[in-house]
């Protein structure tokens, strides 16, 4: 079996020191030091790099499965605060690619991808990287589940996100549905409105990057009454629409309009 260091130096001459520094920076930022460093290196062999992708893809698969289970466990522990239907919606909010890509952006994955000649990561690639990192931590930690839950809780800002969701007027509701309910109130637009979500794909055909914003128009006049900030990038339009609805709701909340 080819040593990772040797394989890396063959593909990226004179870059090992920079790669090692990024790997250490990653460990410092997640406050976890790998005992088997090659496991971390496998998680940093981003798909598209001139390195073996098999180990990365296996870790990504494992991390995706672990994140779903761990988020389910953490939400189950909150089941006295939310109903079963709300828990499902909350999990969808937490595990979608936009949120995972946002978490990945807090770590030096883009710095790494530039070093490996991949360029700026798409939201899909960033989410894959975050999942691979979770898989690597699990294996390195001797497949111990409870310590991994604590790590995931911390690096996904789970408690903070739950607190924000609880404090928002829409809570665990789908932001698109809540926005429609708010607009349909007689003191808002009643039946004289329509909501649209214009989307633009700025990515590639095989790696879409959708940017979306929410727009509320008067049916009777076609006049735009409200428009939210742009959301994205999202690998799926429906995820972008939810994020765009949320951004418009946050704007309305900051202006004190959701209480009216």
At 161-202, the pLDDT tens digits run 888 777 777 776 788 888 999 999 998 999 989 999 999 998
d(CA 176, CA 196) in angstroms, rounded, equals 10
Report the run of H or E that residue 172 belongs to, with start and end. none
Report the run of H or E that residue 43 belongs to, with start and end. helix 37-43
| pLDDT given for residue 54 in this prediction | 92
> Tens of pLDDT along 143-154?
999 999 999 999
Residue predicted with more confidence, 123 or 155: 155
| pLDDT given for residue 8 in this prediction | 93
| pLDDT given for residue 1 in this prediction | 43
Kindly state whether residues 104 and 219 are assigned to the same domain. Answer: no
| pLDDT given for residue 98 in this prediction | 79
CA dihedral 74, 75, 80, 83 (to 10 degrees): -170
Kindly state whether residues 102 and 200 are assigned to the same domain. Answer: no
pLDDT tops 70 at residue 2: no
This prediction's pTM: 0.79
| pLDDT given for residue 253 in this prediction | 86
Place of tokens 């899909």: 124
CATH number for the domain spanning 233: value is 3.30.160.20
Instruction: Show the tokens assigned to 252.
Output: 């309305």
Kindly state whether residues 124 and 201 are assigned to the same domain. Answer: no
Q: Which residues contact 98 (CB under 8 A, 6 or more apart)?
A: 123, 231, 232, 233, 234, 239, 240, 243
| pLDDT given for residue 166 in this prediction | 74
Range of the domain at 111: 4-167
**Residue at 215 is within a domain:** yes
Catalytic residue status for 17: no
Kindly state whether residues 133 and 192 are assigned to the same domain. Answer: no
Catalytic residue (choose from 42, 64, 209, 239): 64
The candidate with the shortest Cα–Cα distance to 166, out of 101, 89, 241, 73, is 89
Instruction: Show the tokens assigned to 240.
Output: 């972008």
d(CA 242, CA 199) in angstroms, rounded, equals 12
Start-end of H helices in 168-236:
175-183
**Residue at 224 is within a domain:** yes
pLDDT tops 90 at residue 223: yes
Q: Looking at residues 102-128, what average pLDDT do you find? A: 92
Least confident of 56-60, 73-77, 141-145, 213-217: 73-77
| Mean pLDDT of all residues belonging to the chain | 89
d(CA 102, CA 134) in angstroms, rounded, equals 15
pLDDT tops 80 at residue 55: yes
| pLDDT given for residue 260 in this prediction | 56
**Residue at 260 is within a domain:** no
Length of the chain: 260
| pLDDT given for residue 97 in this prediction | 78
| pLDDT given for residue 174 in this prediction | 81
What b-and-e string marks burial along 63-75, b requiring 16 or more CB atoms within 10 Å of the CB?
A: bbebbeebbeebb
| pLDDT given for residue 146 in this prediction | 92
Kindly state whether residues 9 and 126 are assigned to the same domain. Answer: yes
Catalytic residue status for 131: yes
Catalytic residue (choose from 42, 128, 131, 239): 131
Kindly state whether residues 146 and 222 are assigned to the same domain. Answer: no
pLDDT tops 80 at residue 231: yes
Dihedral of alpha carbons 179, 184, 190, 193, sign: positive
Kindly state whether residues 43 and 158 are assigned to the same domain. Answer: yes
d(CA 181, CA 92) in angstroms, rounded, equals 20
Least confident of 177-181, 232-236, 242-246: 232-236
């Amino acid at each position: 079996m080819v040593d990772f260091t040797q394989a890396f130096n063959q593909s990226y001459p004179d870059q090992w020191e920079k790669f090692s520094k990024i790997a250490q920076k990653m460990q410092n930022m997640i406050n976890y030091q790998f005992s088997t460093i090659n496991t971390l290196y496998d998680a940093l062999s981003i798909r598209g790099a001139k390195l073996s992708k098999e180990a990365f893809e296996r870790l990504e698969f494992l991390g995706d499965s672990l994140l779903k289970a761990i988020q389910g466990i953490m939400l189950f522990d909150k089941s006295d605060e939310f109903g079963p239907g709300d828990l499902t919606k909350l999990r969808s909010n937490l595990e979608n690619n936009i949120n995972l890509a946002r978490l990945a952006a807090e770590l030096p994955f883009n710095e790494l991808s530039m070093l490996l000649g991949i360029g700026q990561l798409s939201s899909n690639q960033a989410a894959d990287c975050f999942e691979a990192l979770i898989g690597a931590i699990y294996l390195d930690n001797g497949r111990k589940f409870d310590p991994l839950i604590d790590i995931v809780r911390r690096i996904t800002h789970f408690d903070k996100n739950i607190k924000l969701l609880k404090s928002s007027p829409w809570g665990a509701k789908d932001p698109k549905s809540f926005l429609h309910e708010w607009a349909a109130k007689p003191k808002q637009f009643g039946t004289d409105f329509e909501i649209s979500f214009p989307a633009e794909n700025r990515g590639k055909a095989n790696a879409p990057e959708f940017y979306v914003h929410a727009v509320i128009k008067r049916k009777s006049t076609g006049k735009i009454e409200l428009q939210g900030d742009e959301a994205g990038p999202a690998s799926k339009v429906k995820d972008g629409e939810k994020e765009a609805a949320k951004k418009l709701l946050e704007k309305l909340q900051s202006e004190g309009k959701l209480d009216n």
